[in-house]
Structures are given as structure tokens and as C-alpha cells.
Amino acid sequence: MKAMILAAGYGKRLRPLTDHTPKPLLTIDGKPLIVHHLEKISEAGINEVVINLGHLGYKIPEVLGDGSNWKLSVAYSDEGPDPLETGGGMTKALPLLGSDPFLLINGDVWTDFNFSLQEMNLEGQDLAKLVLVNKPNWRERGDFGLEHGRVRVTNNPSLLYSGIALYHPSILDGANVEKFSIVPRLKIAMEQNRVSGILHDGAWDDVGTPERLESLRSQFGE
């Protein structure tokens, strides 16, 4: 199995920090966020990683190189100055990802989730498995519900998508390389009962604002 790290976003809410540094290179506990992911990916026994690039993308290969420091092979999918969002970025990277299910990780999350969990697999005709977390206090509304291991769109969702998922490439069948979100395709798959989920109750945060970044740095160091 391969992994893909989404690292192309602008990080607008973190400005001015992201005016000169792409968000995945911001540091917590002495390392860039994306390095924490690479370490956990390597520990999970995954050997090949695709990283998409956008805003200040050239700086990421300068830091990570070919991934050999983490016993990984890293390939880059450069989206240029206008990132393609989740769906477009995944579609552009498909030639690098291949035809098997792949692990997808948002480059701006902080978590102790174990990527090697046996539960991280797709069953039957499933197109995705989402890792969900309980809605944090800073979020007014959740994203989805979880019923008997299946992810649902509900009227009062209490769970948040963590930015970690397993996807089958066929969820992108017919997609063009253009800017679009994966969410509409995910919701269609949910209606077809083809999306499973697991609840992670360990450490997780979305490093999306200066306040959340500083909170994590106060706990773990910069």
C-alpha cells in the first residue's frame, strides 16, 4: 500500500506564518508536521509516499528530499500555484499512486493515530474508510455520523473527519484533473453504503489557526 500526504494548501488562516513557509513544514516538537507523518508511515511498514505540492511547494522537497532519511521513497505531484483541492489533487496523483487502495493523510493534522492498524482496510465493494474523531470544542458542527461501522450523513453529526482515510482509486472514476473536492463523491458513496469508518479517541488536532498551533507547541514544544 502507498500513502499520499496532502500538502498543497495555502494555509491562509495561519498567515503570516505561511507567507514564507508551507503549512506542513511548520514545526511542533522540533520537527515539521509532515515529518511526524513520514515517521509514522515508515513505522507502519509503508514504503512509498506521494506528496502533492502547491503553495511554496518547492520548499518541501528541499527539506524531505527523496524520503530516504525515513526509509521511504517519496514522489511529488506538483499542482503549480493554484492547488487542485482534495479531489483534483488525488486525481492528478493517481498515476503515481497506482490501482490499489491508498492511505490519505492531511499534511496539517497532529495525531497519534496508528497507521498500521489492522482495521485500515477496505472490505467488499467499499470505496473508502474514514478515520473520525469526536467534534472538538472549536468546531460548531460535525461532519458525519457513524452507525455500526458505516459512515452516514446525518442531521446532527457529532463526529469530525480527521483528515486520515483509506481510499480506493475507483472513487475517482471519470474525474478530470481540475479543482474539486472529494466530498460530493464521498457522500454519494455513503448513500450507496460503500464508506466505512473507525473512531479515533486518541490525540488529534487540526493545525489550522495560530491559536491551535501555539496550543500544541505549548504542550510539545516548537
What domains can you pick out in the chain, each with its CATH number?
A: 2-220 (3.90.550.10)
Which whole number is the average pLDDT over 63-71?
97
pLDDT, position 120 = 83
pLDDT, position 72 = 98
Q: Which residues pair with 177 in a beta bridge?
A: none
Q: Cis omega before residue 61 (within 30°)?
A: no
Q: Cell triple for residue 131?
A: 478515520
What is the rounded CA–CA span in Å between residue 162 and residue 208?
13
- 166-210 per-position pLDDT tens digit: 999 999 999 999 999 999 999 999 999 999 999 999 999 988 888
* Burial (CB count within 10 angstroms: exposed 0-12, middle 13-18, buried 19+), residue 176: exposed
pTM comes to 0.94
- Quickly state the pLDDT bin for 148 (edges 50, 70, 90): very high
What is the rounded CA–CA span in Å between residue 193 and residue 36?
33
What is the rounded CA–CA span in Å between residue 34 and residue 122?
25
What is the rounded CA–CA span in Å between residue 86 and residue 181?
5
Coil, strand, or helix at residue 73? strand
Residue 188 makes CB contacts below 8 A (sequence gap 6+) with none
- Which residue from 85, 82, 124, 117 is spatially nearest to 103, judged by alpha carbons? 117
* Burial (CB count within 10 angstroms: exposed 0-12, middle 13-18, buried 19+), residue 178: exposed
